[in-house]
Amino acid sequence: MKISGETQKSQFTKKNIISYKKRSNQPKGFKFNIYWIYGIIAAIFIVNAISNINPAQEIGEQELLQKIEGSQVKQLIFVKDKATNDVIEVEVELINDNRKPPHYINKPVNSERLLTKIDEIRNDTLKNNNNALIIKPKYRSDWLGGIIGWIIPLVIFIAIWFFIMRRMSGGGGGGGQIFSIGKAKGKLIDKENIKITFDDVAGLEEAKEEVTEIVDFLKSPQKYTKLGGKIPRGAMLVGPPGTGKTLLAKAVAGEAKVPFFSLSGSDFVEMFVGVGASRVRDLFKQAKEKSPSIIFIDEIDAIGRARGKNAMTGSNDERENTLNQLLTEMDGFGTNSGVIVMAATNRADILDKALTRAGRFDRQIFVDLPELIERKKIFDVHLKPLKLKKSLDVNFLARQTPGFSGADIANVCNEAALIAARKSKKTVDKEDFLDAVDRIIGGLEKKSKIISPNEKKTIAYHEAGHATVSWMLEHASPLIKVTIVPRGKSLGAAWYLPEERQLTTTEQMLDEICTAMGGRAAEDIFFGKISTGALSDLEKVTKMAYAMVSLYGLSKNIGNISYYDSSGQQSGFTKPYSEERAQNIDKEVSAILDKQYKRAKQILTKYKEKVENLGSYLLNKEVIFKTDLEKIFGPRKWKSYEEERLNNLEKEKDQKK
């Protein structure tokens, strides 16, 4: 169904937003509360207790008989239970007493004995021609107790039912009550409660540009509708965990100044059949009433998995019904004018194709891990609340954290502040950030681990071998720090600054393999024997060598062949090549590793004295840095492209100032 430009324009006027404010300020309707039932029961008990209160004084059986013998009693009323016909109490009315009867109350222990004695006394008075004692029966029905006995079990059953249903349906929100289990659990966030804007989102320039168009459409739709454009139905944020997808959605809500419904994909999933689809319908109904509005579904892969993949449960399960309803609401026969759906996921590969097609999620915005310049901007945001040392280089921090997400960088800044506070420092300096990175990547230091002197010496020369080879090779990652303090599962570690490359050449991969083999080569040269400490190095270089030969086609003997399967349909039980080819691949991998091992030994033999000095220095200090290597080996011949790029940016900033 087509919608004219004028109709769309009318839906996006300020009047709609004003009316939404008016509705939100109106008093809420009647809401049932289970505690009212408890109050009613308590009131019934109180009324019953008050009704049973009698101002008459209780009198004993012997005293009552004395008053009857003394002709002081005018009338006795025997109160009996209507159901059992048992005497409950005796009401006594005296002669010459102006008070309202009954004047006394007797609760007989043995009503038969009391009646017998009263008859005897009554017969004696009749013989003496005195005034006869009046005796009357009275029946009482305990209806209130019967009602309470019937109501209490029912109320207890209802209370238990309410408790079980609240626990099963999530206990809160729209679906927390039994009568609203099919209601959407999305949180409506008003513009006053959103403090995050695009200024708080560092990096992600391309992603921000994409969502900015959506925000601009919500603010001024006539700018686009007058040219015949239509509002996009949805935008999906795709990327690794921690890259800022949810933060970007919050910034959209803060910038758009429109009602923002936020919920998770798991909020639709329930144990009851049809609840998920019902919540989807209710969510879109609420969003339409408050249009223009935004719906944000985080972790949409919880309900958006491809249909028909699970043969065990069949194709008609609850998750698929929820997905079908979502597909219908986003692009069905109904109209969702003014409602934009945003979603976030890090599993875009498993989503249903009907969900990601044009007309539903029109745009897929890829939120990738931040690059060098973006990491610097992210650091600038997270460093604002910290008390930093003036000499702290933000460029160094950005280069020190390759592959870190925005969440990881925020964690690094927080961890550095905690480490500085633990050391009773007044400011956070470079060393605190390095310790924070080390702790996040490698784990806590284990200085208490027992290591023999021979083992410690082996570890020191092993790490010195890595450092030396990396320093002498052009394409190897430059070294930043070397430590022989046990950290996590490792006995020693060397930290590098890898270049962020989009393409990797054969020479670069061979240099990386050679650097990794430097540790074992140093053990062989200086001690004449090798240890198990090179396990992680061997695992790394073996995978790299097999990737060179069988995936990237970088081997001259094997040729330009790749056995990479991008579709993921290849079975792991069968190989796409013959046994002869497998033997050739194994031989080529072994040749590559042997050649780079010999190359590493040649470099270490050439600089043997300097390596020995580095090993001894590391053995004494336990931790050495880039400056220590420059003292021993001299400055490194090759400069990093990234470092030059950062320096150029700083020069451009200074020129603008």
Active site residues: 463
Q: Bridge-partner residues for 139, per DSSP?
A: 80
3-state secondary structure of 358: coil
Contact criterion met (CB below 8 Å) for 381 and 414 = no
Evaluate whether 236 touches 340 at the Cβ level (below 8 Å). no
Residue 460 in contact with residue 420, Cβ under 8 Å? no
Query: Do 544 and 509 meet the contact criterion of CB atoms below 8 Å apart?
Result: yes
HSE-CB for 603 with a 13 A CA cutoff: 27
Cite the beta strand spans of 310-359 per DSSP E.
339-345
In the 8-state DSSP scheme, what is residue 315? S
Task: Tell me the sheet residues that pair with 238.
Answer: 345, 366
H or E element that contains 94: strand 87-94
What whole-number distance in Å separates Cα of residue 367 and Cα of residue 211? 12
Report strand pairing: 623-625 vs 479-483. Answer: antiparallel
First-last CA distance in the chain: 56
Bridge partners of residue 365, in order along the sequence: 237
Q: How far apart are CA 434 and CA 440, in angstroms?
A: 10
Query: With contact defined as beta carbons under 8 Å apart, do 80 and 32 qualify?
Result: no
Residue 307 CA to residue 320 CA, distance in Å, equals 6
b/e 455-473 (16+ beta carbons within 10 angstroms → b): eebbbbbbbbbbbbbbbbb
189 φ/ψ angles, rounded to the nearest 5 degrees: -105, 115
> Which H/E stretch holds residue 168?
helix 143-168
Tokens 């050679």 belong to: 514
Measuring CA to CA, which residue among 394, 377, 474 is closest to residue 647?
394
CA separation (Å) from 26 to 19, 86, 194, 288?
11, 60, 22, 19
